[in-house]
Structure 1
Amino acid sequence: MKINVIKKSVSFFLPLLLMIVLSGCEKKYQEPDHYAVDLFKDERHEGRAYIMNEEECFDGSELVITSSNVKLADSSKGRGKSFFLYKVRSGKMLKSIRDSTVDYPFMFLSDQRLKLKNDSIYLYLKKLEGYRFIAAERNLKYKWLKAAPVYSVKKDK
């Protein structure tokens, strides 16, 4: 009698235990990310932007000016593709490829918002291409060099 009860309970709990164990097993072959090999992991830098140093900025620019009178004049943030217009009231020209003189005040365009500082900064500018309508309306000739950050002018001691 005891043996029949044990056989019935084993025959009932053994398949239930076996189903629990098998359903808990993880199948690695169903996860393709587990076996994926990234051939270009050293070349991919997501979330990082290339930032030029001062020499690269100076060499890549068509016009370099030092100025402490730079202000944000207007922006198109929230109205399509963002761009920012900056007004330069005065400055000293360090390099120019196209023009021998610059008439102040003038405006330039930037695709990014610049972190302007209170002291003198270098302005790395290139010839403006595109933006026909706004360039004609605002008399824009220059655009901020794309990968250039804002560098402060170092004063000699």
Structure 2
Amino acid sequence: MHSYIGFLLPIHMKINVIKKSFSFFMPVLLLIVLSGCEKKYQEPDHYAVDLFKDERKEGKAYIMNEEECFDGSELVIASSNVKLADSSKGRGKAFFLYKVKSGKILKTIRDSVENYPFMFLSDQKLKLRNDSIYLYLKKLEGFRFIAAERNLKYQWLKAAPVYPVKKDK
């Protein structure tokens, strides 16, 4: 038998030792290298340049005051008999149908009389009160299938909140 000393090993024996150590340390080395990489491409806001940062006001909706609502409306009614009749919440684009049983017409562009009860459509859910409120309505745009089925003519003025009727002293 031959006795070999480390550096004097035959080449085929050296290759086997290298293969065994390489197969053990390579996955460990690969995991160390990959875990140290920082992935900045996953943060697109880091590289984005916002050209309109001064003009953007997220989370702040424009709310009209009473005079703007009155001027922008085609029909203004003071009523305390307004109820939510139906809604499409959860079935596509959300809209709400409200039924007005009675009220006093304060402004109309058309020279017509509105027959009660009637319904109007709103894109937003209104915070109805127990006392009288102003209804700021305009002519219905779109929703032709619902308008024909429910006999709708008006929709809520966009960006108009619900204002209570002020009682004169």
TM, length-normalised to structure 2:
0.70
* Match among 98, 101, 121 for residue 110 of structure 2: 98
* Match among 138, 144, 147 for residue 132 of structure 1: 144
Aligned residue in 2 for 1:64 = 76
Aligned mates of 1:37, 1:122 — CA distance in 2: 44
Matched pairs, number: 129
Equivalent positions of 1:4-83 (< 5 A) are 40-83=52-95
Report the secondary structure of 2:56's partner residue. coil
- Let me know the Cα RMSD of the aligned residues: 2.0
Report the secondary structure of 2:71's partner residue. helix
Report the secondary structure of 2:77's partner residue. strand
Question: Which whole-Å deviations, capped at 9, do the CAs of 1:20-76 have from their partners, x for residues lacking one?
Answer: xxxxxxxxxxx9977977554332100111100000000000000000000000000
Cα distance 1:99–1:128, how it changes in 2: closer, same or farther (>3 A)? Answer: farther
Higher-Rg structure is: 2
Report the secondary structure of 1:126's partner residue. strand
Aligned residue in 1 for 2:131 = 119
Structure 2 residue identity aligned to 1:125: L
1:98 deviation in Å?
A: 1.8
Structure 1 residue identity aligned to 2:56: R
Aligned residue in 1 for 2:96 = 84
Aligned mates of 1:32, 1:138 — CA distance in 2: 47
Report the secondary structure of 2:85's partner residue. strand
Aligned mates of 2:144, 2:107 — CA distance in 1: 25
Bigger CA drift: 130-139 or 92-101? 92-101
* Match among 123, 148, 151 for residue 163 of structure 2: 151
Deviating beyond 3 angstroms after TM superposition, the runs of 4 or more aligned structure 1 residues are 31-42
Report the secondary structure of 1:94's partner residue. strand
TM, length-normalised to structure 1:
0.75
Structure 2 residue identity aligned to 1:49: A
1:156 deviation in Å?
A: 1.1
Cα distance 1:34–1:81, how it changes in 2: closer, same or farther (>3 A)? Answer: closer
Q: Give 5+ residue unaligned stretches, structure 1.
A: 1-30
Identity of aligned residues (%): 88
